[in-house]
């Protein structure tokens, strides 16, 4: 046991410049790095996590309280590593340990067996009675507990964010437990889920008669102009551009078509603009909507009120024959054509809306079944409330939708997206996994 008053290496010295260099280089490593498993924005480099852990775990050999058994083991093992000559004095040994820490922080040595063996043996020599437990309650992407496990500690990791917890579970429990076969199984099960989902959802994403596959549907929420004698439907569009790529410029052009006694109708065409000036400014700015037919401006509170009446307005309103009567409007459909490069843009047609109507019926049936089953378990589609108050100054994104009176997460999705989500969840839960009931690993990972 290291006496309480014995200094750790990190308290006397640390190879900051070299570890920083290796940490900076690690950012450009794409192959085989845990960061490729899932994006985590606050992930710390493994290089510095590994180096700091060792420098905090190992005692300083120059401290008179440093256990002799640790120094003996270090003198025995360090010569196995090029450049880590333990010399004869305690100061030489300290230099060699710091050299080891600096070199081991290099990504190229991170999995080298001789480095790992020496690191683990010296952690063991410093803590012969009990394996040290590294606790990281804010573990995020898991750099610290991962390196702790790798150098022979036990680790406890948790995080407030459920995405981080999932990353931690996969990184710290599943991968060490199942090894490379896990990746094969995920690919196999993923391919099967994809196949079944494509089959189940095919009629909601119909191909075009010419064989083109729609890959994106561009929608706009709509509100109604409240100016006297107008009543036109205003699609809320920040921009009329569809594609700004140099050789594939596409934009929408709006037409106002009078319709007898009724409100003016808004139609679109897709065209190839030569420059920015040919593309009209959007209809919405700062939640204020401008009517393209009469130029009246609908103030933010009226835009919000109209959208709130349509539960955020992400969905189409249909009559009972499946004809659109209002709500979200399809602006354009992006397609890929067999044998042709690039994306194509076309105006929407009745078949596009019919698919959405079918999705609406299907979603109603899914929710009905859940209701009849006594609302057991989670709702099949997201229904958690959205907090309209910005939880922290760093939280981005949600203020824009709460401005439009979106009040729960489900309202961020269209009928069709919700049906697809429900399919993915159901297929995922029922997917056969060989791994579910295997034994636990030694690392002790908690989480919420």
- Choose between 96 and 291: whose C-beta lies nearer to Zn ion: 291
Long-range CB contact pairs, 23-29, < 8 A, 24+: 23/47, 23/48, 23/105, 25/107, 26/107, 29/107
Question: Nearest to ligand SAM by Cβ — which residue?
Answer: 140
Binding residue for Zn ion (CB under 5 A) from 186, 294, 297, 427? 294
- Choose between 161 and 196: whose C-beta lies nearer to ligand SAM: 161
Distance (Å, whole) CA 301 – CA 264 = 23
Shortest CB 447 distance to ligand SAM, Å:
10
- Choose between 150 and 250: whose C-beta lies nearer to ligand SAM: 150
3-class DSSP state of 8 = strand
3-class DSSP state of 266 = strand
Q: How many CB atoms lie within 10 A of CB 322?
A: 15
Q: Are strands 344-346 and 329-336 parallel, antiparallel or unpaired?
A: antiparallel
- Choose between 141 and 264: whose C-beta lies nearer to ligand SAM: 141
**Partner in contact with 160, chosen from Zn ion, ligand SAM, none, beta carbon below 5 to 8 Å by kind:** ligand SAM
- Residue range at the interface with Zn ion (CB under 5 A); choices 131-139, 225-233, 345-353, 428-436: 225-233
- Residue range at the interface with Zn ion (CB under 5 A); choices 133-141, 227-235, 307-315, 335-343: 227-235
Q: Is 266 in the site for Zn ion (CB under 5 A)?
A: no
Q: Is 303 in the site for Zn ion (CB under 5 A)?
A: no
Binding residue for Zn ion (CB under 5 A) from 232, 289, 332, 355? 232
Q: Tokens 């569809």 — which residue?
A: 242
Shortest CB 242 distance to ligand SAM, Å:
37
Q: Is 291 in the site for Zn ion (CB under 5 A)?
A: yes
CA dihedral sign of residues 294, 298, 302, 304? positive
Element (H, E) at 74: helix 68-77
**Partner in contact with 364, chosen from Zn ion, ligand SAM, none, beta carbon below 5 to 8 Å by kind:** none
**Partner in contact with 40, chosen from Zn ion, ligand SAM, none, beta carbon below 5 to 8 Å by kind:** ligand SAM
Residue count, binding to Zn ion (CB under 5 A):
8
Question: Could you tell me the two tokens for 366?
Answer: 């899914």
The DSSP secondary structure of 124-164, one letter per residue, reads: HHHSSSS--EEEETT-TT-HHHHHHHHTT-EEEE--SSHHH
- Choose between 103 and 159: whose C-beta lies nearer to ligand SAM: 159
Q: Is 243 in the site for Zn ion (CB under 5 A)?
A: no
Element (H, E) at 222: strand 222-224
Q: What is the largest CA-CA distance in the chain?
A: 100
Torsion of CA 199, 204, 210, 216, to 10 degrees: -110
Which positions ≥6 away from 372 have C-beta within 8 Å?
none
- Residue range at the interface with Zn ion (CB under 5 A); choices 7-15, 231-239, 374-382, 438-446: 231-239
Binding residue for Zn ion (CB under 5 A) from 121, 175, 227, 297? 227
Shortest CB 141 distance to ligand SAM, Å:
3
Shortest CB 73 distance to ligand SAM, Å:
30
Partner residues linked to 223 by β-bridges: 234
Shortest CB 262 distance to Zn ion, Å:
13
CA 59-61-67 angle, 5° bins = 70
Q: Are strands 133-136 and 154-157 parallel, antiparallel or unpaired?
A: parallel
- Residue range at the interface with Zn ion (CB under 5 A); choices 232-240, 356-364, 377-385, 387-395: 232-240
User: Which of these, 439, 438, 436, 441, lies nearest to 149 by C-alpha position?
Assistant: 441
- Choose between 42 and 431: whose C-beta lies nearer to ligand SAM: 42
Shortest CB 273 distance to Zn ion, Å:
25
Shortest CB 394 distance to ligand SAM, Å:
10
Shortest CB 294 distance to Zn ion, Å:
3
**Partner in contact with 43, chosen from ligand SAM, Zn ion, none, beta carbon below 5 to 8 Å by kind:** ligand SAM
Distance (Å, whole) CA 344 – CA 337 = 8
| Chain residues that interact with ligand SAM, rule: CB under 6 A | 40, 42-44, 137-141, 143-144, 159-161, 164
Beta carbons of 356 and 316 less than 8 angstroms apart: yes
**Partner in contact with 144, chosen from Zn ion, ligand SAM, none, beta carbon below 5 to 8 Å by kind:** ligand SAM
Shortest CB 292 distance to Zn ion, Å:
8
**Partner in contact with 137, chosen from ligand SAM, Zn ion, none, beta carbon below 5 to 8 Å by kind:** ligand SAM
User: Which of these, 130, 56, 128, lies nearest to 97 by C-alpha position?
Assistant: 56
Q: How far apart are the first and last CA of the chain?
A: 33
Q: Which residues bind Zn ion (CB under 5 A)?
A: 225, 227, 230, 232, 291, 293-294, 296
């Amino acid at each position: 046991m290291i006496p309480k008053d014995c200094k750790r290496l990190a308290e006397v010295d640390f190879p900051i410049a070299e570890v920083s260099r290796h940490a900076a280089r690690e950012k450009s490593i794409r192959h085989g790095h845990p960061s490729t498993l899932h994006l985590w924005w606050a992930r710390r480099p493994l290089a510095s996590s590994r180096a700091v852990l060792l420098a905090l775990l190992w005692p300083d050999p120059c401290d008179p309280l440093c256990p002799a058994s640790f120094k003996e083991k270090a003198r025995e093992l360090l010569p196995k590593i090029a450049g880590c000559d333990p010399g004869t004095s305690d100061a030489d040994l300290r230099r060699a340990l710091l050299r080891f820490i600096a070199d081991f922080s290099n990504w190229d040595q991170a999995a080298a067996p001789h480095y790992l063996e020496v690191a683990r043996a010296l952690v063991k020599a410093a803590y012969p009675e009990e394996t040290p437990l590294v606790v990281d309650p804010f573990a995020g992407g898991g750099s610290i507990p991962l390196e702790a496990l790798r150098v022979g500690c036990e680790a406890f990791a948790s995080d407030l964010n459920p995405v981080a917890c999932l990353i931690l579970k996969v990184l710290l429990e599943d991968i060490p437990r199942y090894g490379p076969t896990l990746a094969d199984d995920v690919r196999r099960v993923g391919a099967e889920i994809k196949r079944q989902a494509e089959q189940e959802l095919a009629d909601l994403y119909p191909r075009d008669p010419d064989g083109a596959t729609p890959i994106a549907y561009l929608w706009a929420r709509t509100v109604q102009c409240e100016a006297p004698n107008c009543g036109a439907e205003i699609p809320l569009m920040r921009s009329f551009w569809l594609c700004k790529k140099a050789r594939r410029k596409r934009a929408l052009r709006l037409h106002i078509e009078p319709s007898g006694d009724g409100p003016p109708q808004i139609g679109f065409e897709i065209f190839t603009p030569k420059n920015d000036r040919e593309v009209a400014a959007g209809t919405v700015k700062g939640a204020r909507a401008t009517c393209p037919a009469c130029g009246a401006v609908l103030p933010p509170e009226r835009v919000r009120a109209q959208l709130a009446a349509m539960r955020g307005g992400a969905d189409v309103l249909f009559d009972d024959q499946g004809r659109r009567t209002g709500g979200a409007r399809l602006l354009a459909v992006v397609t890929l054509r067999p044998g042709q490069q690039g994306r194509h843009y076309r105006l929407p047609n009745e078949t596009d809306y019919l698919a959405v109507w079918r999705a609406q019926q299907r979603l109603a049936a899914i929710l009905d079944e859940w209701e009849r089953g006594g609302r057991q378990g989670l709702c099949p589609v997201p229904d958690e409330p959205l907090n309209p108050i910005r939880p922290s100054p760093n939280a981005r994104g949600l203020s824009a939708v709460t401005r439009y009176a979106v009040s729960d997460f489900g309202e961020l999705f269209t009928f069709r997206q919700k049906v697809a989500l429900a399919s993915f969840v159901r297929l995922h839960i029922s997917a056969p996994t060989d791994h579910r009931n295997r034994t636990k690993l030694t690392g002790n990972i908690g989480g919420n």
